[in-house]
Amino acid sequence: MKKPNVFKEFIKDKNVASVSETSKHIVEKICNKIDFSEKKIIVEYGPGTGVFTKYLLEKMNQDSKIIIIETNKEFVENLNKINDPRLIVVYDSAENVQDILKVNNLSKVDYIISGVPFSFMSEDDVTELIKRSRDILNEDGGFFVYQVSSKIEKYLKDFFPHVSKDFALNNIPPLHVYEARK
């Protein structure tokens, strides 16, 4: 399966927000925080070329589900080629996550992984997306955010009592990685 060129998409679509996909090191670092031993519902905002999605599909058990929400058409067309009944690909904006879950007969999720560029969004949109993410997350769930900018930290702390952070240098550019829990 030929992957779309992230750099070319970045030139055409500013919301792609990165010239390359996230490094395997960071993908593993974040996904290692997930308990794959039982059925889990996972949502991913901004899967891009699917570097997290494919790793998660490898690790998840057969009863689990992953709903990925992406705004870039090229990426969505490529992600639709992944043939796995546990995967739901949605061509939409992460802001609509609650409606997307409803259409798929879901309301709560165990984990959310987000790579969407919060720094490009208005303050109101960031607040709304973080609030919606909190509302759909199970009590023992985890919300993982990786970002070039640390602007999101304040918003996460406004809505989640437990926010831990890390700065990962094994990526170009280095990324802030946050884990938010209720």
Q: What is the dihedral of CA 40, 110, 54, 114, to 10 degrees?
A: 170
**Given the complex with ligand SAM, which of 7 and 107 has the nearer CB atom?**
7
Q: Report in angstroms how near the CB of residue 38 gets to ligand SAM at its nearest.
A: 25
Report d(CA 141, CA 42) in Å as an integer: 10
Q: Within 13 Å and on the Cβ side, how many CA atoms surround 67?
A: 26
Cα–Cα–Cα angle for 94, 68, 124, nearest 5°? 10
Residues numbered 21-60 forming contacts with ligand SAM, rule: CB under 6 A: 21-22, 45-48, 51-52
**Given the complex with ligand SAM, which of 9 and 110 has the nearer CB atom?**
9
Matching residue, tokens 């055409």 = 12
Residue number, nearest CB to ligand SAM: 46
Selected range binding ligand SAM among 66-74, 76-84, 157-165, 173-181, rule: CB under 6 A: 66-74
Which of 29, 70, 144, 145 binds ligand SAM (CB under 6 A)? It is 70
**Given the complex with ligand SAM, which of 67 and 137 has the nearer CB atom?**
67
The order of strands in the sheet holding 109-114 is: 87-91, 65-70, 41-45, 109-114, 137-147, 175-181, 162-168
Selected range binding ligand SAM among 30-38, 115-123, 156-164, 167-175, rule: CB under 6 A: 115-123
**Given the complex with ligand SAM, which of 34 and 116 has the nearer CB atom?**
116
Does 133 sit near ligand SAM (CB under 6 A)? no
Does 110 sit near ligand SAM (CB under 6 A)? no
Number of chain residues interacting with ligand SAM (CB under 6 A): 22
In this structure, which amino acid lies at residue 165? K
Residue 137's contacts (CB-CB under 8 Å, 6 or more residues apart) are 108, 109, 110, 112, 143, 182
End-to-end CA distance of the chain: 39
Footprint of ligand SAM (CB under 6 A)? 15-18, 21-22, 45-48, 51-52, 69-72, 75, 93-94, 115-117
